Amino acid sequence: MTLRQAQGQAHPSKLTLDRLALGLADAETQAHAKSCAQCSAHLEKLAVLTGGPDFVHPSRLQLDRLALGSPDAATASHAASCAQCGAHLKAVQVDLPVPQWVRDVGTSRPAAWLRWLRPMVAVGAMALVAFAVVGYRPASGPDITAKGLGTPQVQVWVNHAGKATLWSGAALVPDDAFRFEVRPGPYRHLTILELQGDRLYRVLHSAPVPSDGLSPAWAVDADGAQEDVMLLLSNAPLSDDELRRALAGEGSLWSTRWRFQKELR
């Protein structure tokens, strides 16, 4: 009998609980035990027997950190008595033979292999940076085109070597990060696209405009000569059709396009 059929009347079997305590993933039993004094007491007893303070598995990040040498006695003792977590620990601690490409990476000069890297914008790279909002100036700089109705304003903050300033239009270097500050006017929804060769490459962000007007931040990679980003304001999330029309320069959405030139060192 499963819990679903029992409609919460029956407890899971002792065997089912024991298996859960030993690390067999079982969302239903876990959910039941969380709200059932009798079953959670049984699990707690088992957890004491198996040495773990908790019958819930540690996250894989905790396991990986343990494997990489971060001391964590609770996770270690859980993994010692849990087949599933033990197997993960073993998998991330195997001794791999070193393949040739690794030796090539070690000996080749950085500039040569930087070119292998594909386009990348890393989300969140500078979300922890505090931004002082200084006197507001309308967005300006080279290669910006705005179209559409209304009076929204957008400016770009650039974080270079840990220091955030308004973008001057200067070329960015790899690891610089940028984010938009938006005064949305009458609009409520912000969509940010990455373009390549005038075509949509991907939707970087689509969400209501936050109250502080700040978008996520993206870090610049070392690939290609520029980052080409389009920012769209609307009243609701955009349909595929609206996106297509905006990219074709049609429709009445408010948009700006930003091209950040890159300078590779």
- Residues in contact with other proteins by CB under 8 A are 25-27, 30, 57, 59-62, 64-65, 67-70, 84, 88, 91-96, 98, 101-103, 105-106, 110, 113-114, 116-118, 120, 122-128, 202-207, 216
How many whole angstroms separate alpha carbon 201 and alpha carbon 223? Answer: 15
Cβ 193 vs Cβ 175: under 8 Å:
no
Q: Residue 28 in contact with residue 3, Cβ under 8 Å?
A: yes
**Residue 114 burial by Cβ neighbours in a 10 Å radius (0-12, 13-18, 19+):** middle
With contacts defined by CB under 5 A, how many residues of the chain interact with Zn ion? 9
Which member of 42, 46, 57, 157 binds Zn ion (CB under 5 A)? 57
CB of 65 to other proteins, least distance (A): 5
Residue closer to Zn ion (CB basis): 23 or 152: 23
List the one residue out of 63, 117, 118, 120 whose CA is nearest residue 93.
Answer: 63
CB of 118 to other proteins, least distance (A): 7
Compare residues 8 and 210 and give the one whose CB is closer to other proteins. Answer: 210
Whose Cβ is closer to other proteins: residue 67's or residue 247's? Answer: 67
Minimum CB distance to other proteins smaller for 14 or for 202: 202
- For residue 208, give every residue at least 6 positions away whose Cβ sits within 8 Å of its Cβ, in sequence order, or none: 188, 189, 190
Residue among 84 and 226 whose Cβ is closer to Zn ion = 84
Distance CA 245, CA 221 (A): 29
**Cβ at position 209, least distance to other proteins in Å:** 13
| Rounded-to-integer distance, Cα 213 and Cα 139, Å | 14
Q: What are phi and psi of 88, to 5 degrees?
A: -65, -45
Range 79-88 burial, b when 16+ CB lie within 10 A, else e: bebbeebeeb
CB of 19 to Zn ion, least distance (A): 12
- Asked if 36 touches Zn ion (CB under 5 A), the answer is yes
Cβ at position 67, least distance to other proteins in Å: 6
Q: Which residues bind Zn ion (CB under 5 A)?
A: 11, 23, 36, 38-39, 57, 82, 84-85
